[in-house]
Structure 1
């Protein structure tokens, strides 16, 4: 069987989808990644946009394009709404200038505005699915000590954080394996089709 790295070397679309596999599967609420934006990558980016449309509740926002790179926030609407629709999360984000009345669109708009600004909004960790205690710890809003680095900096009790990390990792790997199997079946070019949408339900 080909490795994920072999697949990435040969197929831009498969590689990118593999990177955001946990989000496409609805396990991780969002991913912020940089993708190529040069002239040679324009056609590939069109394929990515077409493929994303075939995943239920998936969407993306292009944050900025700079120096041949496109910064994109990919998110799973239902998973992100569930993450943000929490009293403690909203209380924290409101203290950082997010709207008093929660809506997914309103909070995304606020985050995107900050991402396009001068200072990076590290509270994005909440949107990416990191435990609130770890985001607060990183920002210095709690007295918890950092105990480990595993995907992100973990503060205080490591168990719930490690559980979240492994959940994301397993979902991503499972999705990547599905992509490899799909490619070995000679269907790489059909990832944008309804056929792939049906096959991914195995997740």
Structure 2
């Protein structure tokens, strides 16, 4: 199974995340979290925005330390909502690469993002806008959705709506289908990795 993983995935870290998910009375919630973070952990998706349970603050603090052990994996807490914590998880280098693309830079600058780019400043603007009354639909490019779909959704390009599959797809469906399938495959791989954890040890199970 190791050969199917993206280059740069920390196998030891991945094994420890799976062990963390399995070792708890809250196993179902932990596995849900790990599965949804799979495209990110496996270096396929630049970021994930999701709500996590904040009832057990000690457990969340331990998870943050574990999750961010590789320097590339980062967590940015957005806000607390009814016992839930809205969090952006991201691969620092992957997200930086996405946001540095010329077309995406032009798009975000047209929405009043700083002309002098830095990952931190763009994330700060995004967080501020999430906390405002009007949700920032440009978040789609941060999450790895094709730019054409974000532009189509925002009405900035006259692209025909095709269907909803993870997100609303506009224009040519092929690049969107490829991205969606990659994300779906990552979640499937994570489920399989969890199932392959056996008595021979986490890393050995992953390497089979």
TM range (shorter): 0.7 to 0.9
Ranges in structure 2 where 5+ consecutive residues have no aligned partner: 1-21
Q: Does 1:155 align with 2:170?
A: yes
Paired residues of 2:159 and 2:170 also in contact (CA < 8 A): yes
1:50 Cα deviation from its structure 2 partner: 2.1
Q: Which residue does 2:8 correspond to in 1?
A: none
2:151 to 110, 133, 136: 136
Matches within 5 A, 1:18-167: 18-38=35-55, 41-167=56-182
| 2-structure distance, mates of 1:16, 1:172 | 11
Ranges in structure 1 where 5+ consecutive residues have no aligned partner: 1-6, 188-195
| Count of residues in Structure 1 that have an aligned counterpart in Structure 2 | 186
**SS of aligned partner of 2:40:** helix
Paired residues of 1:24 and 1:55 also in contact (CA < 8 A): no
Change (3 A) 1:81 1:185: farther
Paired residues of 2:193 and 2:206 also in contact (CA < 8 A): no
Q: CA RMSD in A?
A: 2.6
Paired residues of 1:13 and 1:47 also in contact (CA < 8 A): no
TM-score normalised over the length of structure 1? 0.82
1:145 Cα deviation from its structure 2 partner: 0.7
